Chains A and B, each alone.
Chain A
Amino acid sequence: MIPELGHVALIAGLLLSFALATLPIAGSYTARPLWMAAGRPLAFGVFAFVLIAFACLTIAFVQSDFTVDYVAQNSNRILPVYYKITAVWGGHEGSILLWLLMQAGWAAAVAMFGRQLPPELSARVLSVLGMVLIGFFLFILLTSNPFDRTLPFPPVEGSDLNPLLQDPGMIFHPPLLYMGYVGFSVVFAFAIAALLGGHLDAVWARWARPWTGVAWAFLTLGIALGSWWAYYELGWGGWWFWDPVENASLMPWLVGTALMHSLAVTEKRGLFKSWTILLAIFTFSLSLLGTFLVRSGVITSVHAFATDPQRGSFILAFLAVVIGSSLLLFALRAPTVSARSVFSFRSLETFLLGNNILLILIMAMVLTGTLYPLLADALNWGKISVGAPFFNLFFVPLMVVLCLLLGMGIHANWKSSRWDKLLGAWRLPFLTALAVALLWPLAFDHYHWGAVLGIFIGIWVMAASVTDIAVKTRNAKSFIVGLKRQRASYYGMHLAHIGLAVTVLGVVLSTVYSVEKDLRMGAGDSYQVAGYDFKFDGVRLVQGPNYHAFEGILQLSRDGELLGELLPQKRNYFSGGNPMTEAAIDTGLLRDIHVALGEPMERTNPSGDWAVRLQYKAYVVWIWLGALLMAIGGGIAVADKRYRKATAARSVESAQVPGTLAAV
């Protein structure tokens, strides 16, 4: 009964979405307050129904109801109960249901926190979200129903959750990522509503900014967690592979980052208006494109659960409708929202424009590298793959330029800055970064000019933020008073930039100074990597809740002092399938020691020699630590009081000429 209840709840949700997509927006054009006001309860209603459906699927998993096909595919009786719950989004159908839950949740959040919005805007935003919801309801009901039954012959036992996904990181990675992807639908809806209304001012930007910031922070965390998961769970210590699926999440992040900066210009200076709208459309479209790439089976990876051409066609059609209709609307209505104004080339606007151009360029190249092999295959140009060298070749230099510009631009003023002031502000961070960059590599076993450049970039960004805070608090009575005078969004920005710098340093140092050794080791063998001694004491058999494993025992020591025992595993799950590598990692702020067990040299003799990978990963944690700082920075910026005083702010309309003449 419960699965049927879930199915019915989905259908009910679809019907409510139809009402949500039509009623409020129709009300906004016919001046019917009652219709417009229906948006809020309808959004809550849709959310409630999706929540019911999600709960039903969760119950089916907890009860191991294998009459439900999806449960039988992704769970079994001996799976620990917490993994039974996360198995709800361990496969395609359930992850789309999770997506739908997030989508409905964001719509409900807009309904809840958007009370101060003008009724027309609120009605249109909710209706646009309703249209997006219809798309995903239809997708799940027509192509990916998680409640399909296996009757009349249900299997006695389920086939298990993919062992790769039986991991705590997996509990949070998909929800965070989806929160980000789906969150961008809100700013997309705001953009469409602004086009419909032909009105886009500083107040609009002030409403759109926090939603964008929250979605961006979630996406940042989701990507970082995915990278961290790959690092420790895929077993081999890599943290980014330029895999199409990773690219699919990076592209909306890049454009979303551009969007946040463009929104800042739109709010503060009333410029870049149509550009902001275009970015909002692209960010959400790229989120959908990511779903298409991952879910249609056109690319193959851990994430491509099932290859079903019908699903791919549906998302492609949905994508075409979303992009096509919003770009058409943009072409028709963009002139009504654009502004005209002038700014000097030595201004913050110019630097932010540079930021946007670079981010879009990076995105375009990631997109090219991701789609080109698909295109070549479709046109019979041969089977091609574009590997990491291509991506690194442009990503690294463009990121260097982006970070240089960041450190320069942060000191610039709106409208116009004086050269002497800018040059003065750049001097101290420049000298600091140069000194640190030249000295830091001396702490490692070899000097590396790539590391010098990378460290310079990281410290340059960091020092620029610190200098700016020092300058901004200089004239206050005391440092503390000065600190209090700045807004939350100011600190959020600096924290996010410092986070970027930390990530850059982590990437550079771990790339240059990590050491990796694949070895053949027998019991009693020792090996030294980067000053650390590893002594292999053989393997033993251990028992887990739903697997048994060979566990290698390695003594880690340095200069004769024992640091600890590392216990990497090679697991075999009872449900069958291939063995899984479970790395043992000793994490530290300055380095990780990463040990993974390969395979026995003779399959029949596990007490003989084993293949072992020993790795010293310099500063690798900084990569994810930086991402965490970025996300926290995004969160702090959103907490800025001025976003909650939107009604009061309505009187402080931007000082721009409300023109319809030119667009920048």
Chain B
Amino acid sequence: MTMHPVRRQRLILVLVLVTLSSAAVGFVTFAMRENMDYFYAPSAFAAGEVPVEKRIRAGGCVVPGSLQRADKNLEVQFVITDGEAELTVAFDKILPDLFAEGEAAVITGRLMPNGILRADQVLAKHDETYTPPEVAESMVSHKSCAGGAKI
């Protein structure tokens, strides 16, 4: 069977496009599943819902007075809360400028078997009046850290 050359070219093009886009969809789905970071509030950690040794995000208000530094290096620990449960976070890099006790922080990291969250990255709010929406929504009693951080 002979096909019109224009039509033949378009058929091949369409086939190539379909193959490529299905490959792309499959690839994206796979990549998504592997690289999505789920957000958990401290209560979820307390309830044991959080997978161990997997990259996740957590957030809450930094409990005032909980920040502890090592003497020799940058190792630091602090506690975050959602007004119900508390979670200890360990970090060994420089805390961001906007990090402060009594304020919101969002952490990317892995939960260690000892129940401490080992942070790769700590993000803090970026202006005085702002609470990250994930943190605001996960707060049990209040919608911002100013009123909800004390336990």
Contact = CB atoms under 8 A, between A and B. Distances in A.
A162 B147 CA distance: 25
Contact of B32 (A382, A390, A596, A613): A390
B17 interface: yes
Contacts of A640: none
Contact of A580 (B13, B69, B97, B130): B97
Contacts of B21: 361
Contacts of B5: 342
B93 interface: yes
A372 B69 CA distance: 38
Contact of B35 (A300, A341, A386, A577): A386
A386 B32 contact: yes
Contacts of B55: 387
B51 to A, nearest CB: 13
A642 interface: no
A300 to B, nearest CB: 7
A519 interface: yes
Interface string B69-81: 1001110000000
Nearest to B20: A357
Contacts of A369: 32
A368 interface: yes
A23 to B, nearest CB: 41
B36 interface: yes
A361 B128 CA distance: 39
A394 B132 CA distance: 29
Interface string A577-607: 1111100000000000000101101000000
A393 B34 CA distance: 10
B98 to A, nearest CB: 5
Contact of A342 (B9, B35, B108, B134): B9
Interface in A246-260: none
Interface string B106-148: 0010000000000000000011101011100100000000000
Contacts of A364: 24
A107 B113 CA distance: 62
Interface string B35-71: 1111100000000000000010100000000000100
Given A385-B39, A387-B37, A357 B74 contact: no
Nearest to B57: A385
Given A162-B127, A342-B6, 13 more contacts: A342-B5, A342-B9, A384-B37, A385-B36, A385-B37, A387-B55, A393-B34, A518-B92, A520-B73, A570-B97, A611-B95, A662-B10, A664-B10
Interface of A: 162, 235-236, 300-302, 340-343, 353, 357, 361, 364-365, 368-369, 372, 382-387, 389-390, 393-394, 518-520, 570, 577-581, 596, 598-599, 601, 611, 613, 662, 664
Minimum-distance CB pairs A-B, first 7: A383-B39, A390-B35, A598-B94, A389-B35, A518-B93, A611-B94, A385-B37
